[in-house]
Amino acid sequence: MTSATTALTSPPNSLSSPSLQVIKPNLTVRSSSAHNLAFTFRRNSIPVLRASPNNLSSIDAGVSSELDAVSSFSEIVPDTVIFDDFERFPPTAATVSSSLLLGILSLPDTIFKSAVDTALADNECARIKKPDVRMSCFFNKALVNVGADLAKLVPGRVSTEVDSRLAYDTHGIVRKVHDLLRLYNDIDVPAERLLFKIPSTWQGIEAARVLESEGIQTHLTFVYSFAQAAAAAQAGASVIQIFVGRIRDWARNHAGDPEIEAALKRGEDPGLALVTKAYNYIHKYGHKSKLMAAAVRNKQDLFSLVGVDYIIAPLKVLQSLKESVTTPDEKYAFVRRLSSESAAAYEFNKEELIKWDQKSLASAMGPAAVELLAAGIDGYANQANRVEDLFGKIWPPPNV
């Protein structure tokens, strides 16, 4: 097992999350399927555990809700754009992104408004003559200022989006992360409180390898194939994020991806199958990475992933789990699907146990991973462009 510093917060089955007092902002809650600002749920009750016949842990009695049950094995991350209700789901960690900045800019008043205004008033950026470089400077400052505010609200780590327009430029990604880290250091946010969210291209994976070797923690996103997950684990990424629902959506509307078709032939959901395979690979072969399952669409998805390190779930699913009371006379128990035992028993073929490089990764990524990765990168890049366009229209602020 790795130390708590390699996870968003302490692993749920080893150490309970610290308590946190949060002043609730006067804001309307907004939710979305996009993981733009993720606040992790703090567990308040720990259920009684027993060993099930298949040697996996399960929950039988002593829990108050399904949310208590599943959150004892996996850290549950509410999927929100701006805020979750802090009273229902107290935050322990967060993500700052171009989508979050767009959300802040679209609202008349938020507690992060001053962070963006301060970025736009920065003298260092204002002195840059080239407009595109100046806007990029403001963008970096805004991300870091909002990230610093989030770091004051949560005890866990803040994941900061790295410009997706650099997704195919290893050196560009490394330079960008160094720039962001320098800005964080300037306002006294320590590196151990930070993750840097990078697209899982080969160049992004290589950038993660370099950064992790420097002690900088990375969060690799847009993983849609086992090859990406395995290469990311070999690179030492701190967090690897797989989008369950997006893989399922692709499979419903397309054909011709060998990895997806193999899962369907086995009668498995391809998104859930990828998370299972990646988790077992990481844990069987001792990689330090933590696995995050995103784009979870319903309670059954969540139940099928119990034991994975992190699960990002919609607020309506979490509310349903919270309202579903479990009792000692339940006819079923919540079974931990993913564990060290499941990893040890999982069999990989020799083609899956290679040392992944750019060529082998490219040949192993099927059409689903290629298309979904490209779509994710394009989406993030478009959002970054929109932020910079808006900054160009409102800069300089009226009070500067």
The residues carrying an active-site annotation are 197
- CA of 151: how far to CAs of 31, 156, 158, 271, in Å? 21, 8, 6, 32
Burial of 117 from C-beta contacts in 10 A (0-12 / 13-18 / 19+): middle
Containing 38, the helix (H) or strand (E) segment is strand 37-38
Backbone CA torsion sign across 206, 198, 125, 193 = negative
Q: How far apart, in whole angstroms, are the C-alpha atoms of residue 331 and residue 276?
A: 26
CB-facing half-sphere around the CA of 82: CA atoms within 13 A: 19
* 187 within 8 A of 127, measured Cβ to Cβ: no
Query: Can you read off the two tokens belonging to residue 365?
Result: 């990524």
Q: How far is CA 338 from the centre of its chain?
A: 18
Give Dmax over CA atoms of the chain in angstroms: 70
* Cβ atoms of 65 and 324 closer than 8 Å: yes
Please tell me the distance from the alpha carbon of residue 221 to that of residue 99, in angstroms, as a whole number: 15
